[in-house]
Structure 1
Amino acid sequence: MTSTVPESVTITVSRTFDAAAADLFRLWTDPAKFAGWFGSVPERTTVDAKVGGDWNAVMIYEGNEMVFGGRFQEIDEPSRLVLTFGDDPSSEGSPLTVELAEAAGKTTLTVTQVGPLPEDQIEPATEGWNHFLEAMESQV
């Protein structure tokens, strides 16, 4: 069975953390913290958190090496990051927006990924982002 690829799909996931926005922001900009929730090999995770800076992470999953990466496009510390996200080094990846809204000592983190994605990969991608947000819980 082949899956059609819509021109653009939007995946949005959110979670409220008992943490400051600045602490959650660092999970995205500090390579060691990023590797901690992303599940990547720490010594093969790089994060150059500046506009135009690249990020790269290598994950080992079921014995297979998976390479992810992208580029930071916008940084508004501690409330917003815009970067690209992809698993194909030959493409620019999909736009990814991370928004952090802090109120009353809690922060809601919302991740929005936009781009082409085969229909049969929408649910696994959404589950993947929820898994990442769950992993962030143990990092703050």
Structure 2
Amino acid sequence: MTIVNSYLNFSGNTEEAFNFYKSVFGTEFSALVRFKDGPGGDKMSPENADKIMHIALPVGNGNLLMATDMIESMGQILKTGNNFSLSITPGSEEEALKFFNGLSEGGTIEAPFKKEFWGAYFGMFLDKFGVRWMINYDPNAK
């Protein structure tokens, strides 16, 4: 079985974003590595050394949401765009609504969570960290 995990890049606020996601999903980090813990970490500025090199958050049934801070002094430049979405397919309408309401808090709703013409409940938004999400719950899917 193939599992698709999403990996996100942030411009220095990975920890803030992932503490927010953790509060919504109600799970604990399965990994959290700071740059200071990796090779050459002792040579980094204190500000960059405390940034997140790798973080993983279980979000259900073997799926992980993972991320890193991009460090400009290492030549990493974040270019935020709309070239990706994270799509969640919850197991119930209640769970779908919980995720939609929680993750969209402070963000911009692009499609309100409602029953759509294809028979599923769907909503789409840009969260307060600039990450695009789609929530799709189909009560007829098996």
Measured against the shorter chain, the TM-score band is 0.3 to 0.5
Larger radius of gyration: 2
| Larger strand fraction of residues | 1
Relative CO higher for 1 or 2, CA cutoff 8 Å, sep ≥ 6? 1
Normalized against structure 2, the TM-score is what? 0.35
